[in-house]
A and B are shown apart, each in its own frame.
Chain A
Amino acid sequence: MLKTFAKGGIHPPENKLSAHVTILDLPVPKTVSIPLSQHLGVPAVPVVDKGDAVKAGQLIAKSEGFVSSNIHSPVSGKVVKIDKVPDTSGYKKNAIVIEVEGDEWIETVDRNGDLINTFDYSREEILKKILEAGIVGMGGATFPSHVKLTIPRGKKANYLIINGVECEPYLTADHALMMQKGEEILVGTMILKKVLDVDKALIGIERNKPDAIEHLTRLSEKYPGIEVYPLQEKYPQGGEKQLIKALINREVPSGGLPIDVGTVVHNVGTAFAVYEAVQKNKPLIERVLTVTGKSISKPSNFRVKIGTPISDVIEAAGGLPEDTGKIISGGPMMGKAINDLSVPVTKGSSGILILPEPEAKRKKIDPCIRCSRCINVCPMGLEPYLLMSLSQKNLFERLENEKVMDCIECGSCSYTCPSNRPLLDYIRLGKVNVGKIIRSRK
């Protein structure tokens, strides 16, 4: 029996249409819009002005405080405006818009693709490089990586966990990256291990990617302390708490962080970004993402410059299909539906999924028949049917007691409900309201 997390979870049809498609470089677009808030935390502050010429790799917005992140220009060109543009949230947010001219890079970046697998930087030097490169969690949560790597006083990490699970249906960016940049990921992992001062790094990969498991297992023989673990396919195993439970059978306490059980979790994409930042001095200015959907003519994995409009990416995969009903940034379980194709690719964009019209609309809501399927699939041990009902009735105190804030918003409950009830919609609403109450107490 393969490892997996203990409670709940679902296994939706995988639909990994682009699983074995080689990563292609998307051509540099004419214009890029770089949002100042591509990470969790405080938006970055621009250090360039309208009219300034910038080079690829140049810092254009500076981290504001500890939980924030630097932002670099992915292209060379001219800043044409710093203004509000729509992002994947649907709101207009401040962004630096750059018109591309030429292909000039800052000199420090090593653009040679050769693998460098040795390093003798100190922990402080590595941490500084990661901070400067503007690296955030590439799995989608976009939490600034240097924050996770700064262990609070009194805590100690025993394990580094590298997340190669990619449990979201359709998405294959991490899979493709593991196949093509496997060794770079392992070097990145060694670097992260050094920062955290741990002996062991565990890489978790679901067994629906046997080639990646095999590839990384073989490569890892050269890298002491790295072990690759195949995992049973189960969503949301890519969730930090579920992955920790699956690999080392520890439960992050309610309201706690992975470090409370002695672990730090990073995505394989983040490990690759760390490799590039430390070994190649390359800031985070591009990422791999999947463009997919049943009606897309060429489901693909692309390496894309941050700030590229999503329309360019969809064009490269054969264009928007006739029967498009929904455009999703991210995977089908946790991604965001967008209505504007000018929205830029950001550090957290793991994929673009086009759903055909018949799949785009929700089905009619039936009454709750109390079948308890939502409870059985909830990976956090919550009672979604109850949370929805309490949220509808504005019973916030009970919502808090029933641990609504523990919800990781994986959507397994809504997916499973035979009555098509909008469980997660109401739970999110409840979380917003309870969150306000909790903050007002402080």
Chain B
Amino acid sequence: MSKLITISPSPHVFGSQSVGRLMYGVILALVPALLVSVFFYGMGAIIVTLLSIGFCVLFEFLIQKFILKTEVRISDGSAMVTGLLLAFNVPSNLPWWIIMIGALIAIGVGKMTFGGLGNNPFNPALVGRVFLLISFPVQMTSYPVPGGLNTGYVDAVTGATPLGIIKEGLKSGLSISDLMKEVPGYLDLFIGKMGGSLGEIAAAALILGFLFMLFRKIITWHIPVTMVGTIALFTGILWLINPDKNADPLFHVLTGGVLLGAIFMATDYVTSPMTPKGMIIYSIGIGAITVIIRVFGSYPEGVSFAILIMNGFVPLINRYIKPKRFGEEVKHG
């Protein structure tokens, strides 16, 4: 034969899935929540999102090109996902330079230090977010109140989140029944009309993103359902014991970062366990830690910390939890 043919071991055909397709699928799933955020927080949501994505992609490019001197692979979409998720986890009036620092920490410390995509033990966006929360507590907790499309970027009117109102109110001796009058109703909580981080408010839109990712088989149900279920269970028990001191489970699930965390942060492939059983243990851990921080800790919200803590256990979970091997137990049926 005159022409060259390829020789390689089997298999010779391959599926059509790729890292890029998965990442862009996640981005698409985040769009509804972003739109809701723009609707309630106006231009600020757009500016913060674009800045965060821009800085994340820029830092990944600079580090790959000039420090690691490896292949530049910003087009795989993973830095965009990190940027988008970092933006979703900060207030929509955050000054540009704080976003820049957050992006540098997320991409630099959270991801590239460990070798880039696939090698980071902790969720990069959360590494950036928690760094900012500890370093700039004032700016990171001045949440704009929903004012519609005419809300400005830096001059937005700010207020507390529903979780913040409850936490402060309980400290000053008020009861839940009094405090529930001061927080938005369940319908508002469901559509996202409340103060909070840019992308965490829109429960309905986040659930839409979840269904989309399930449909496209980007993620499985295990982590989101178990994590939300655990939070509902534990807060439900506390609520039943003392409804005057503890908010009800629906309130806990719809506020703060529970849905954003359960659907988009805890499900990050790289930093979550490899087996369904491992995923369930991991998400029970996240749910339990979240409730402990919310109810007994000094922060009103604990999802970010909980996910990072459980990220740290993932290598152990992967080592301990093995899939059921075929032929492990002999069945005679």
Contacts and interface: CB of A to CB of B under 8 A. Distances in A.
Nearest to B22: A418
Given A360-B6, A369-B270, A420 B14 contact: yes
Contacts of A324: 3, 5
Contacts of A3: none
B186 interface: no
Contacts of A403: 325
Given A381-B323, A381-B326, A382-B323, A411 B275 contact: no
Nearest to A334: B10
Contacts of B1: 320, 341
Interface stretch (A111-119, A175-183, A246-254): A246-254
Contact of A249 (B3, B325, B331): B331
A370 interface: yes
Contacts of A318: none
Contacts of B12: 326, 328, 332-333, 335, 337, 353, 355, 359-360
Given A333-B10, A375-B275, A411-B10, A369 B326 contact: no
B14 A363 contact: yes
Interface stretch (B85-93, B98-106, B112-120, B126-134): B112-120
A10 B15 contact: yes
B172 interface: no
Given A416-B17, A420-B14, A337 B7 contact: yes
Contact of B274 (A366, A383, A411): A383
Nearest to A416: B15
A123 interface: no
B173 interface: no
Nearest to A256: B327
Nearest to B119: A367
A326 B269 contact: no
Interface string A370-382: 1111010011111
Contacts of A435: none
A375 B333 contact: no
A368 interface: yes
B138 interface: no
Q: Chain A interface mostly helix, strand, loop or mixed?
A: loop
Contact of A424 (B9, B116, B333): B9
A41 interface: no
A383 B260 CA distance: 29
A250 B331 contact: yes
Contacts of A420: 14, 18
Contact of A418 (B19, B73, B326): B19
Contacts of A380: 325-327
Given A12-B13, A334-B10, A424-B11, A381 B328 contact: yes
A423 B117 CA distance: 18
Contacts of B324: 7, 381
A105 interface: no
Interface in A395-442: 402-403, 406, 409, 411, 414-420, 424-425, 428
A424 B10 contact: yes
Interface residues of A, number: 72
B216 interface: no
Contacts of A254: 325-328
B332 interface: yes
A51 interface: no
A403 B323 CA distance: 11
Contact of A251 (B78, B117, B326): B326
Nearest to B7: A337
Given A370-B270, A375-B275, A418-B22, A406 B10 contact: no
A377 B325 CA distance: 13
A339 interface: yes
Contact of B327 (A248, A366, A406, A409): A406
A241 B76 contact: no
Q: Which of A248, A381, A406, A420 has the most CB of B within 10 A?
A: A381
Contacts of A245: 326
Contact of B9 (A369, A382, A419, A425): A425
Contacts of A383: 274, 322-323
20 contacts: A7-B326, A241-B326, A245-B326, A252-B327, A256-B327, A326-B6, A328-B12, A330-B10, A337-B12, A360-B5, A360-B6, A362-B14, A363-B14, A369-B78, A369-B118, A370-B272, A372-B275, A406-B325, A418-B17, A418-B22
Interface of A: 7, 10, 12-13, 90, 169, 241, 245, 248-254, 256, 260-261, 320, 324-328, 330, 332-339, 341, 353, 355, 359-363, 366-373, 375, 378-383, 385, 402-403, 406, 409, 411, 414-420, 424-425, 428
A-B pairs with lowest CB-CB distance, top 3: A411-B11, A367-B118, A418-B17
Given A372-B269, A383-B322, 14 more contacts: A7-B324, A13-B13, A250-B331, A320-B1, A325-B6, A332-B12, A334-B10, A335-B12, A369-B19, A369-B270, A371-B22, A381-B328, A385-B274, A418-B18
Interface of B: 1, 3, 5-15, 17-19, 21-22, 73, 76, 78, 116-119, 269-270, 272, 274-275, 322-333
